[in-house]
Structure 1
Amino acid sequence: MKTSKDTGTGRRPGGRRLVVSVVASAVVVASAFTVTAWQKDDGKADSAKGDAVRTATAVVTRSDLSNARTLDGNLGYGRATTVKGGRPGLITWLPPTGATVKRGEPLYRVDNVPVPVFYGGTPLYRTLEARGTTGPDVKTVADNLRELGYDIGAQPAAGTWVTPEPATSEPVPSGTSSAVPASSAAPSPSATPVQVKRGDAVLTAALVAAVKRWQTATGMPATGVLGAGDIAVLSGAVRVDGVQAQLADAADGTLMTVTSTTKSVTVPVDPDEAGSMKRGDAVTVTLPDDSTARGTITAVGATVRTGDASSGDDTAGQPRLTVGIALRDTAAVRGLNSAPVRVRFTSETHKGVLTVPVGALLALREGGYGVQLPSGRLVAVKTGMFSKGLVEVSGAGISAGTKVVTTS
């Protein structure tokens, strides 16, 4: 009896051959029943050795096949970030756990003065007081005040020379010599000019005036000066995950942890399997009540971490990458803050291909595979993807609706 060999393409590109063993087992099982149906000289099947095999017929169908894997994940608000205070004083107000804080809203109060949230990537790292001060921290202030609806005036373009004024000087009117065009002569040696870089902003008189108006509206002293701890610069709106500080605690310590306001799913993945997962790929998330929600891969981590051995799960101590998933169906998780979920990843899909049950495959004596028609004639086929007991086939004489013999 001729040994069958797998010529299918059922594998996961870029990762482990997850389905090779499954496919091989399926083909061996199928061959154990059907490999005895070899072709005779007259093109008919020789069933002398297969009288005890129970057979049935199946219809060749056209359908979609895909290789998929389901992994365990966690629904939540993402990784928590620690918020620390940046100025001396005592905490006089803290938000409740679960609260959402947006741009311009107070995250906490120090000595009964609000510390509002600004969005950005550069926090205030110095006192912003002197006209002409230039830097990315000034841009954080300018961008947020503009988004909050304040008129900040025109900003000097990148490449412009700006001479910072002493902090105690009178405000410099907008458009005066505090900004010298880069094409003109450099300022006198006694000055300390700086050139505006791309991504910077300048503390102009108009911007200082906007700061004062905003301070008045938010209940802060209207000085036009901002210190390093006067605002909390975060990447966006946040949800208060937990509060560590208490009222009357010193304001320059750890205060709370915050997360994103959007629920998402994280999945720890074997690094070998992550190669077939790409940003933008669609996934299906199964929730604890067995309902499903659609999702999209938003990030595939580049840092390998070892699972926590104290967690008790099967992956403890094994290297893992974290895959992030955004949910399209947010209504499905409205009542959940956190939960274990199952995520179905599809690594490869063949659409509109001809399929037959794996049990219909015959290992031909001359090599390759074939299927047997009810008349007994064998038709050679080329195999493709194997998935869920079906195999992709193609070949002359095979089309949708063709009946073939299969094991029952």
Structure 2
Amino acid sequence: MDPKHDAPTEFIPRVPDPPVRRRGTRWLAVALVVAVLTVGSGIVATRHWADARPVAGDPEVVATTPIVRRDLSTTRTLPGSIGYGPARPLAGHLAATVTWLPRAGTTVKRGGQLFRADDRPVVLFYGSIPMYRDIAGPNLVGRDVRVVADNLRALGYPVGRQPSPGERVTPRSPARNSTDGDDRATGAAGAAAAPHRVRSGEGVLTPALVVAIKRWQTDLGVPATGTIPVGHVEVASGAVRVDAVTGQPGDPAETPLMSVTSVRKVITVGAELTDAASIKRGDRVEVGLPDDRKVPARVVSVGRDLVVSDSGIASGPPLLTVTVAVDKPQAIADLDSGEVQVHVTGRTAVDVLVAPVEALVALREGGYAVQAPGGLVAVRTGMFADGWVEITGDGLTEGTEVVVPA
């Protein structure tokens, strides 16, 4: 064996570079490339977002409105209708037979004939108390006598001087007519009663008034007795319009003969109790007419009796009738009927600072604020009406600009 070749040779394996080192180097290179790409992408993305954003320093446009000082009021709108108001039945008050009745639509004024009974006219007088007894007997005192005196004077008949409140008069019972045995007064003095002190609103059947009655009766075409039997005069607050005739000739005069209304056109409103409770006679209202005009008006009466709603809904609430008269009757003279809107003013705040409701900002801790030039200002709110709100707050005055949605 050749020692040179046969001698065992020590094998020293070549140790390669640690794989971790080579792998780390390779991943490091990859990481550098990714980093470069990432940074590059980041630069591009950054530029992209920068282009989409508003340019710093551009002012933001907002809308503002000044705080103003004015009156606020809550208004309710109720439906109404044009007409002559509610009709009321009219019946006679004497035992007689009806011999004539007027036509529907007829207007009867002071001194006019409402109907005829036993072929004698039953006349209309104006007043606030019905004729509940015969007007007969010297110095008869009462408010019904005052109705007779006032109406005859208005019709042009001299009634002489009427005793003033506080004066004393001695009424006498009417003397019986001894020739025919009836109870009609002859004008002669009967038995004297206790002296009576005339009160405000009362009239006295003086000799001059008796003469006026006789003259009126002569012109009327009836016996001039100087007395007025009960039932020969009917009393209303003013002229009446015959709405419908329910009787006919031959009927007893003491039955309902017709229904009458006022001659003045009015607005009739059916108001629920919650609305009617705050409406009073004399209250000012505004009426919206069918032609879009708005006219001033006032409440002339508020009914006391509940009526069933005529809306056709069986479960509808009962209503109170409120009657409204426009200030200028000619405004509705050409409208025989029609639906209107009645605007009733409720609570009112006078001369207060107000802002549009949309100017209010709700605070997280509760309450409201407005955005003024110096920042948010907490406010106390009062009445809300018609899109406005009453506000008070530190530094807020008339003319202060507040932000509203654009």
TM more than 0.5: yes
Secondary structure of the corresponding residue to residue 283 of structure 1:
strand
Structure 1 pair 156/365, CA: closer, same or farther in 2 (3 Å)? Answer: closer
Contact 1:91–1:249 (Cα < 8 Å) also in 2: yes
Higher helix share: 2
CA deviation after TM superposition for structure 1 residue 333, in Å: 1.0
The AA in structure 2 aligned to 1:344 is: H
Bigger CA drift: 76-85 or 156-165?
156-165
State the 1:135 CA deviation. 4.0
Alpha-carbon distance between aligned partners in 2 of 1:106 and 1:135, rounded to the nearest angstrom: 24
Counterpart contact for 1:92–1:109, Cα < 8 Å: yes
In 2: Cα distance, 1:66 partner to 1:55 partner? 34
The verdict on how the C-alpha distance between 1:214 and 1:382 changes in structure 2, with shifts beyond 3 A counting, is: same
Shift of 1:241: 1.3
Task: Give the partner amino acid of 1:271.
Answer: L
Per-residue displacement from partner, 1:344-396 (whole Å, max 9, x unpaired)? Answer: 11212334433333232223355532222467x22222322222333222323
Report the secondary structure of 1:123's partner residue. Answer: coil
**Secondary structure, in 3 states, of the residue corresponding to 1:290?**
coil
Normalising by the residue count of structure 1, what TM-score does the alignment of the two structures yield? 0.71
User: In structure 2, do the counterparts of structure 1 residues 380 and 312 end up closer, same or farther at CA, with 3 Å as the change threshold?
Assistant: closer
Deviations 1:190-225 (A, max 9, x none): x45143353544434333222111111122222333
Q: Does structure 2 conserve the Cα–Cα contact (< 8 Å) formed by 1:152 and 1:207?
A: yes
Distance 1:168 1:306 in 2: 50
Shift of 1:130: 4.0
Which secondary structure does the structure 2 equivalent of 1:359 belong to?
helix
For the 8 Å contact 1:370–1:379, the answer to whether it is kept is yes
Residue number in structure 1 paired with 2:306: 305
The alignment yields a C-alpha RMSD, in angstroms, of 3.1
**Counterpart contact for 2:139–2:170, Cα < 8 Å:** no
Match of 2:176 in 1: 167
Q: Percent identity?
A: 45
Structure 1 match to 2:195:
195
Distance of 2:314 and 2:352 partners within structure 1: 36
Aligned partner of residue 140 in structure 1, secondary structure: helix
Amino acid at match of 2:173: P
Structure 1 counterpart of 2:263, from 261, 264, 267: 261
Determine which of 365, 368, 382 is the counterpart of 2:380: 382
1:69 maps to which residue?
76
Shift of 1:314: 5.9
User: 1:293 is paired with a residue of what secondary structure?
Assistant: strand
Q: In the TM superposition, what is the alpha-carbon distance from 1:286 to its structure 2 partner? A: 1.6
* Alignment correspondent of 2:19: none
Q: Amino acid of the residue matched to residue 219 of structure 1?
A: G
> Against the structure 1 CA distance between its residues 248 and 369, is the aligned structure 2 distance closer, same or farther, given a 3 Å change threshold?
same
**Secondary structure of residue in 2 paired with 1:210:** helix
* 3-state SS, counterpart of residue 273 of structure 1: helix
Residue of structure 1 in register with 2:233 after alignment? 231
The change in CA–CA distance for 1:358 and 1:204 in structure 2 (over 3 A counts) is closer
Equivalence for 1:30? none
Structure 1 Cα separation of the partners of residues 131 and 364 of structure 2: 77
CA distance in 1, matches of 2:297, 2:129: 31
Partner residue in 2 for 1:59:
65
- Give the corresponding residue for 2:289: 287
* Cα pair 2:170 2:192 within 8 Å, conserved: no
Aligned AA (1:223)? T
SS of match in other structure, 1:73: strand
Q: 1:115–1:380: structure 2 CA closer, same or farther, 3 Å change rule?
A: same
Q: 2:113 touches 2:123 (CA, 8 Å); kept in 1? A: yes
Contact kept? 1:215, 1:221, Cα under 8 Å:
yes
**Aligned CA distance change for structure 1 residues 128 and 359 (closer, same or farther; 3 Å):** closer
Instruction: Quote the Cα distance in structure 2 between the aligned partners of 1:88 and 1:279.
Output: 38
Give the drift of 1:78: 2.0
Distance 1:353 1:132 in 2: 62
Q: CA deviation at 1:117?
A: 1.0
Q: Structure 2 matches for 1:5-404, cutoff 5 A?
A: 56-62=62-68, 63-155=70-162, 158-168=167-177, 171-172=187-188, 191-196=191-196, 197-198=198-199, 199-301=201-303, 303=304, 305-308=306-309, 311-313=310-312, 317-365=316-364, 367-373=366-372, 377-404=375-402
Write the letter of the residue equivalent to 2:361: L
Cα drift, residue 59 of structure 1: 0.8
TM-score, normalisation: structure 2: 0.71
The number of residue pairs the alignment matches comes to 335
Cα 1:159–1:358, aligned 2, differ >3 Å: closer, same or farther? same
